[in-house]
Amino acid sequence: MSALSPGNAAKIIAAKVNEDRLWRRLMELGRIGATANGGVCRLALTAEEIEARHLLIGWARDIGLSVTMDDISNLFFRLDGTDPDAPPVVTGSHIDSQPTGGKFDGAFGVVAGFEALEAIRESGVTPARSMEVVAWMNEEGSRFSPGMMGSEAFTGRRPLKQILAVKDADGVRTAEALETTLAAFPELERRAFGFPMTAFLEAHIEQGPVLEEVGTPVGVVTGIQGSRRFRVSVTGDEGHAGTLPMPERKDALLAALEMIGTMRRAFDVDQIKFTVGLFRLSPNVPSVVPSKAFFSIDIRHPDWKTLRDLGDSVAGLCEQNAGPCAVEVSEIATSESLEFPIEIRECIAEVADELGIANEPILSMAGHDARQLHYHCPTGMIFSPCEKGISHNEAENCNPSDLAAGTRVLAATIAKLAD
């Protein structure tokens, strides 16, 4: 890192982080799939997401980053170090959103990565290791569920075959949608899965209220709260709403509600998060007793033992409350609570301290691609405050200076790890 002392390098790089440019890029990306209520609908592997990929590639050309893509359509943007054979330091997040998502979830981590690499280039500092920004495919899992497909395929944490077979609500397989996305970028060199990394850093909005409440612009993420996700399928029988007596009914809705109500009461422990976000009924007409219900369960808790025990009781509670209906419960994703390595956390905190940016440790309540990368290389996360903790919501909002502070810490940490 030339003759500059590490402390000076951090400050020089941080000074090159341009708050206006960062915000302008965020707003530019936010216009792709923009909703009437100020949010974003940019589902994975859709035309909107392809448009967003073109935007990123345009930025990369402007900055002078080389672009590659792997077989699951993760996009990589590289700034070469002096030793091209050394494993790169990688940062990034995702550009897909929820159907009624905000402009910052995921997008910030990718845009911050571009800003960090541009700042490093402008600083004149050239570390030994190359540095890359990645946009992981389908973190949200709104169209093709569950999400984190890109980071799971890259790290081999989920079999590619299984990922490709997932269907969306219209019956389209991930494999088909992926083909369209891959075909839109024929000029890109194809990258191998699982290439070695020196470290992975993900900048992200907190998606919770803590940092805003304590007035700290940078959160050094200690780990990720675990989660268990289930799908429950209840099968009853159709009947005429006017003629079929109640005792003879096999009402899938009432059975499902009994299950959900029982779990809600049974899972009422401190710090639990219990969410049924997806619920579908069939045939779903007012005058017919419903024959089928299908719903999701998402349980999260910082303590893995608590989460494990509660999750293990899901199938039993559903069966006990199915009444006259049949029920099938499947667990589609299990994520243990994890702790990022202390070396990375200390590195981030030290850089922030050098830059005079207030920071504090924080646990991530949400899952992120960093969860998968944690099992691949030394990994860490940097959180920025978001307004009132609102996320997965069109009203999601952030303070530009907070995002710039997080990006400064990100840029200087990348340079330090790449040195």
- Residue 299 corresponds to which tokens in the numbers above? 């349980």
**Angle ∠(332,97,387) on CA atoms, nearest 5:** 110
215 sits in the region (left: phi over 0; alpha: psi -120 to 50; else beta) called: left
* 343: enclosing H helix or E strand: helix 342-355
Identify residues 81-120 at the interface with its own copies (CB under 8 A).
Answer: 98-100
Please answer whether residues 74 and 136 qualify as being in contact, where contact means their C-beta atoms are separated by less than 8 angstroms: yes
Among 55, 167, 182, 239, binds its own copies (CB under 8 A): 239
- Which bin fits 284, alpha (ψ -120 to 50), beta or left (φ > 0)? left
Q: Is 175 in the site for its own copies (CB under 8 A)?
A: no
Among 69, 253, 322, 329, indicate the residue that binds its own copies (CB under 8 A). 253
341 binds its own copies (CB under 8 A): no
Site membership for its own copies, residue 63 (CB under 8 A): no
Residue type, 145: S
Q: Which residues contact 116 (CB under 8 A, 6 or more apart)?
A: 17, 91, 131, 133, 407, 410, 411, 414
Among 26-34, 49-57, 277-285, 352-360, which window interacts with its own copies (CB under 8 A)?
Answer: 277-285
Only one of the segments 114-122, 175-183, 270-278, 336-344 lies at the binding site for its own copies (rule: CB under 8 A); that segment is: 270-278
Task: Give the nearest distance from C-beta 188 to its own copies in angstroms.
Answer: 30
Site track for its own copies across 186-225, x = CB under 8 A? --------------------xxx----------------x
DSSP secondary structure string, 289-312?
E--EEEEEEEEEESSHHHHHHHHH
Which amino acid does the sequence have at 323? Answer: G
Which residue in 274, 308, 323, 360 binds its own copies (CB under 8 A)? Answer: 274
The count of other CB atoms within 10 Å of the CB of residue 343 is 12
Please report whether residue 287 would count as binding its own copies according to CB under 8 A. Answer: yes
Query: Total binding residues for its own copies by CB under 8 A?
Result: 64
**Closer residue to its own copies, CB minimum distance, 115 or 140:** 140
β-pair partners for 381: 202
Under rule CB under 8 A, residue 281 binds its own copies: yes
- Is the bond preceding 84 in cis, omega lying within 30 degrees of 0? no
Q: State the nearest-atom distance from the C-beta of 338 to its own copies, in Å.
A: 14
Taking residues 141 to 170 in sequence order and writing x for each that binds its own copies by CB under 8 A, - otherwise, the string is xx--xxx-----------------------
Under rule CB under 8 A, residue 284 binds its own copies: yes
How many C-beta atoms lie closer than 10 Å to residue 222's C-beta?
18
Which stretches within 158-231 are classed as H helix? 160-165, 174-183, 210-214
CB-nearer residue toward its own copies: 195 or 274:
274
**Alpha carbons 118 and 329: distance in angstroms, whole number:** 48
Smallest separation (angstroms) from its own copies to the CB of 203: 16
Question: How crowded is residue 87: how many other Cβ atoms within 10 Å of its Cβ?
Answer: 14
Smallest Cα–Cα separation from 166: which of 255, 44, 314? 44
Element (H, E) at 362: strand 359-364
Question: Which of residues 289 and 329 has its CB atom nearest to its own copies in the complex?
Answer: 289
Stretch that binds its own copies, among 25-33, 318-326, 340-348, 390-398 (CB under 8 A): 390-398
Question: Site mask, its own copies, residues 290-329, x = CB under 8 A?
Answer: x-----x-x-x-----------------------------
| Residue among 99, 112, 178, 36 at smallest CA distance from 406 | 112
With CB under 8 A as the contact rule, the residue among 15, 160, 172, 288 that binds its own copies is 288
Among 52, 119, 366, 403, binds its own copies (CB under 8 A): 366
Which spans of this chain sit near its own copies (rule: CB under 8 A)? Answer: 98-100, 140-142, 145-147, 206-208, 225, 227, 229, 237-246, 251, 253-254, 257-258, 260-261, 264, 271-281, 283-290, 296, 298, 300, 365-367, 389-394
